[in-house]
Amino acid sequence: MKKLFIIVFLFFISNLVYSQCKDFFGNNTTCPTAEDSMVLYENSLKVYEFYEKHEDYKKVGSIKINTEKNVRECFYRLDSTLREFKDLWMRRERYLKGEKIEVLMPVGGRNIMMEQYYERIDENKFYQREFENAILNTNSPFPLYDNRIAPLIINTYVNNVGEEFNGDEVQIALYVPVTIKPVALLTKEEMTLREKLLTGTFLKIKPKKEIEKPIVTKIVSIDSVESKYKKEIKKSSTKSKKNKPQVVKKEVSKGYFNTIPINAGVIYYTNGVTSCAIGYMYNRNFYVLPKRLYNEWAVPLYGRYILENETELIKMLRTKFGEYFKEIIKEKED
């Protein structure tokens, strides 16, 4: 009982450390859950593994995000970079329609679709690629961010080989997996490292003069943090090879969509211009929006296509959630 209490208490404290139910813009919001942390954890491993193991990309720099100001600046920069990409996207569209303007086009001469650079999941979570967006390697895992949970490192990678992505400079904000993994799942070694990386900064209401105090204290060095990344990646890769997850499909009776759980995350699908809700994620399961609600939820044709094409739907969910996604729950048809 005592051990259970400690685990619950630490998880509660962990959530307070991250957000105090406010995002990094200062807005009131719901507190991040263990599911939020786990999805972010799985995604951070995939993103880091891609750039660290890719033979064409070499790391040329690292910057620690270690103050509250740094964190806010990171999210404001993500927002600013998104606006820049939208402007670049519009200029490319004008060029493709025949306007004589100078604009850098991707190899192949096609514009990059908006959803390949950015996709909003809910009021807190969103997918977004790197800060440098003139050249985009859309084969890389799509980084996931949560504006209640702080990244701790900005790494820069450069590609100076090959043809398609030669010259690609990637500056990307990264989460340290051990700091976002749900507390109840941490090993003793991970708990020790986590304590070295994080302090109780967010547990205290500080006067303005202390606002620049570090969030990260005993970070020791970037190399020591990234060595932990590599250990987690190796462990995760070995596990996934041994036990490749299978998608389970279940059909349930009508009614599950009448009341969406309070901690569920509504999942959106986009065609690059607009987005529509196609279901929600809860307890690692994706609950499909029933056909009978298509009109009520104003689901357009592109949304109906993904809902009724199971292969594409599973592919999309695997891309977003990786091994975290487990089951598809559908309503039985009459």
Tell me the two tokens of residue 4.
Answer: 């259970």
> Tens of pLDDT along 211-222?
333 333 333 344
Q: What percent of the chain has pLDDT over 70?
A: 76
Question: Would you place residue 325 in the very low, low, confident or very high pLDDT band (cuts 50, 70, 90)?
Answer: confident
Residues 235 and 252 in one domain: no
What are the Cα distances from residue 283, in Å, to 192, 201, 326? Answer: 28, 30, 9
Is there a single domain that holds both residue 138 and residue 13?
Answer: yes
- pLDDT on residue 189: 84
Tell me the C-alpha distance between 108 and 67, whole Å.
42
- Whether residues 217 and 296 fall in one domain: no
User: Do 306 and 207 share a structural domain?
Assistant: no
Element (H, E) at 228: helix 222-242
Whether residue 193 sits in one domain with residue 287: no
Judge if 94 and 165 occupy the same domain: yes
Residue 311 — left, alpha, or beta (φ > 0 → left; ψ -120 to 50 → alpha)? alpha
Q: How many domains does the chain have?
A: 2
Q: What is the pLDDT of residue 2?
A: 43
The pLDDT assigned to 226 comes to 55
- The mean pLDDT value for 4-27 works out to 53
For residue 178, what are the domain limits?
2-241
Q: In which band, very low, low, confident or very high, does the pLDDT at 13 lie, cut at 50, 70 and 90?
A: very low
pTM of the model: 0.61
**Mean of pLDDT values over 73-84:** 93
Query: Model confidence over 54-76: pLDDT tens digits?
Result: 999 999 999 988 888 999 999 99
Q: Do 54 and 172 share a domain, yes or no?
A: yes
* Whether residues 120 and 167 fall in one domain: yes
How far apart are alpha carbons 71 and 334 in whole angstroms? Answer: 51
**Residue 98 or residue 244, greater confidence:** 98
Q: Which two tokens stand for residue 39?
A: 């999805």
Q: Report pLDDT for 58.
A: 93
Question: What is the mean pLDDT of the segment spanning 6-24?
Answer: 50
Average pLDDT over every residue of 131-159: 89
| Residues 112 and 206 both lie in one domain | yes
Average pLDDT over the chain reads 77
Asked which of 182, 211, 241 is the last residue of a domain, the reply is 241
3-state class percentages of the chain: helix first, strand second, coil last, to nearest 5: 40, 20, 40
Q: Which of 172, 206, 241 finishes a domain?
A: 241
Within this chain, do residues 18 and 162 fall inside the same structural domain, yes or no?
A: yes
Q: What distance in Å separates the CA atoms of residue 106 and residue 142, rounded to the nearest whole number?
A: 18
Over range 86-91, report the average pLDDT. Answer: 90
Is residue 203 located within the same domain as residue 266?
Answer: no
Among 9-13, 28-32, 76-80, 319-323, name the one with the lowest average pLDDT: 9-13
Of the candidates 207, 241, 275, which is a domain's last residue? 241
Instruction: Say if residue 41 is in the same domain as residue 149.
Output: yes
pLDDT above 60 for 196: yes
Rg of the Cα trace of the chain?
Answer: 21
